[in-house]
Amino acid sequence: MQAHVVQAPLLMFDESGARVREVTLVCEAAVRIRVNGVLVAETQCMPDGLAELAVGFLVTAGVVRTRSELLRVEVNAEALVVDVAADLPPGRLEGLSGRGRIGSGLGRGVTLPEGPSSVRSADDGRPADPGPPIPSDPLEPSRSEACAGSERTASSLTLPAARIMELGHLFDNRPGLYQQTQCVHSAALSDGTRYLHFAEDLGRHSAVDKVIGLAFLSGEHFTDLVLLCSGRFASDMVTKVARVGVPLVISPAAATHEAVLLAERHQITLCGRVRQHSMTVYSASWRVT
């Protein structure tokens, strides 16, 4: 299996002059995702966590909506291919066509054998419950629609402003590959008190897909969780969040106008430009107490 980081001796300059120093470099790989033998996506990403990345991509794309639909995930580390077996209704997979390329991942496989009600992780073999369903597709009518007539999501989650800023500050300063390399994006899921899952990858979409895949395989209820991500809010990222039902997102970056309209329509609270003592609430401000 290809390493996801390497150490390289590089020439460094600072105020004291030049010197050779060991530096951590992030590796990238071209990875393919297949569902029931059909190629559905290709991505340039870090070669780790590919099983979780593939699952997260399919969940946020609306292809896999319950854990009972996910039968098996296998990673070929040499060929850089993730093969997913899923029990999907007719037409579901065809809806993925034309979505183009996605972001990051690679690693050990996650196997989900023995029928729809038994989901097992290749890490420990423990059975898990089927987990909550993913909304069928909350993004119709078209995303260009303004926020008039918006409805609240099923989640009633609220958080104090001080806690949101604290979570954002801790996330932005969490030790990880970004602190070592300044070359990756990060994503995390929190219950509002502690981090449950954390992932990093070359692209912000890949990092988010990877952390959502981790949570999906763990049986988390997304409507109870907060997503933290290092990248900006654009409408494509809000689409991912809306599909799984996460009600609140925290980022040190800003949001686009289209992202704000879409988030308001689905009552997703976007908290951007989050610092230790400040933030901007772009949408669904009733969740911030």
Cis peptide before 9 (omega within 30 of 0): no
- Between 133 and 3, whose confidence is greater? 3
Neighbouring C-beta atoms of residue 166, cutoff 10 Å? 15
pLDDT digits 0-9 by tens, 68-89:
999 999 999 999 999 999 999 9
- Taking the C-alpha atoms of residue 272 and residue 24, their distance in angstroms, rounded to an integer, is 29
Q: Residue 79's pLDDT is what?
A: 94
Give me the domains of the chain, ranges plus CATH numbers.
29-128 (3.10.20.10), 161-287 (3.40.140.10)
Quote the distance between the C-alpha of residue 78 and its chain's center.
24
pTM of the model: 0.80
Question: 112 vs 169, which has greater pLDDT?
Answer: 169
H-helix or E-strand spanning residue 52 = helix 50-60
Q: Is the pLDDT of residue 114 over 60?
A: no
Average pLDDT over residues 203-221: 95
Greater confidence, 105 or 55? 55
Q: Residue 254 carries which side chain, given as an amino acid letter?
A: A
